[in-house]
Amino acid sequence: MTKLYIVIPCYNEDETLDYTTEKLSEKLEQLISEKRISADSKIYYIDDGSKDKTWDKIESFHSSNKFVNGIKLSKNRGHQNALLAGLLHIKDDCDCCISIDADLQDDINTIDKMLAEFENGCEIVYGIRNDRKSDTFLKRSTAQLYYKILSFFGADIIYNHADFRLMSSNALNALDGFKEVNLFLRGIVPLLGFKTGTVEYARNERLYGKTKYNLKKMFALAIDGITSFSIKPIRMITAVGLIALLISLGMLIYSFVQWALGNTTRGWTSIVWSIWSVGGLELLAIGIIGEYISKIYLETKSRPRFIIEKTLEENKTDRQIQ
Ligand code: UDP
Ligand code: MG
């Protein structure tokens, strides 16, 4: 039977944890009684350096509730890192895990459907929001703009999917092969490959506590998403440099003609042409340096070059990451 772990990053969530623990425990009980998951399935709370009573709560749940385990990070490292800490900590202990936010805005009844996809052989199942009614206008429009910008810059992310997803132990081990420091999970998980599935759900309002994503954190996540996946901004500099250089050629001809016709003041021709050509050359040079830097950047990530899903041979483990 499937051993399911639910991984939940928590930052100053003491107001919501009673509700969350109650609802998730009920869910696990239901799935256990339906014989869909094993009785040693767990809820893992990752305390992301909270300043309130979050960790005290997790400790008390751990002693009173057989499902609850906890991990405490030494300081606040942000949602993505907290989630990653949890995922990598449990990667070999469960058959699959589901990551979800502490406020349970994502509908936990979707877990049943995710498990069904897992039973059908999917190693990754994405939860996709099919409406954004519960979001403010600002959040909705910035989120949509963000998905558009990311796909323009070439990151392969799933539209309207946040971090509510199921991953098998196989997929988690493949994720472990990505050693980059600025990790943007939503962009990395689609790179893993494997058989994937999606389930749709409607997202609820946050019932307890306030959002922990202030504008600064949202902005940092957005910038991380772009700069972790794309060297397009550097290519754009090169392109602008080339265009400026082309204009400088045009300006050379134009100013030369003006000079020949006697329409110019002394010195104008050389100044105009130098401004355009030096500017263009500088941008182009920055772009070329950028190309080399982007190679270094891609190398230093040392992402796995491939991930083996299965092999057919004797006496070897199923999974290898190179
Ligand atoms: N979170 C975290 N560290 C942070 C900020 C947020 O672990 O620095 C967690 C938070 O406790 C929650 C999840 O990330 O479980 C998503 O945060 P929130 O629900 O506030 O975001 P929103 O739904 O408003 O986008
Ligand atoms: Mg939330």
Q: Report CA Rg, the chain.
A: 26
pLDDT at 255: 82
**Centroid of ligand 2 to alpha carbon of 101 (angstroms):** 6
Query: Which residue has its alpha carbon closest to ligand 1 atom 23?
Result: 211
213 lines ligand 1 (CB under 6 A): yes
Output the average pLDDT for the chain.
86
Q: Given the CA of residue 76, which atom of ligand 1 is nearest to it?
A: 8
- Kindly state the percentage of the chain with pLDDT values over 70: 96
CA 10 to CA 47: how far, in whole Å?
5
Burial of 253 from C-beta contacts in 10 A (0-12 / 13-18 / 19+): exposed
Digit-coded pLDDT (tens) for 257-300? 888 888 877 777 778 778 888 888 888 888 888 888 888 877 88
Quickly list H helices, the chain.
Answer: 17-33, 54-64, 79-90, 110-119, 137-152, 169-175, 185-188, 215-227, 232-260, 268-301
pLDDT category, 318, cuts 50, 70, 90? low
Digit-coded pLDDT (tens) for 143-168? 788 888 878 877 778 888 889 999 99
pLDDT at 313 over 90: no
CA 109 to CA 27: how far, in whole Å?
8
pLDDT at 35 over 80: yes
208 lines ligand 1 (CB under 6 A): no
48 lines ligand 1 (CB under 6 A): yes
Residue in 270, 91, 247 with CA at minimum distance from that of residue 176: 91
**Centroid of ligand 1 to alpha carbon of 45 (angstroms):** 13
Residue in 193, 197, 169 with CA at minimum distance from that of residue 113: 197
Closest ligand to Cα 11: 1
Closest ligand to Cα 218: 1
Torsion of Cα atoms, 261 then 263 then 269 then 272, to 10°: -130
With left for phi above 0 and alpha for psi between -120 and 50, is residue 310 left, alpha or beta?
Answer: beta
CA 171 to CA 309: how far, in whole Å?
9
**Centroid of ligand 1 to alpha carbon of 99 (angstroms):** 12
Give SS3 for 170: helix
- 0.85 exceeded by pTM: no
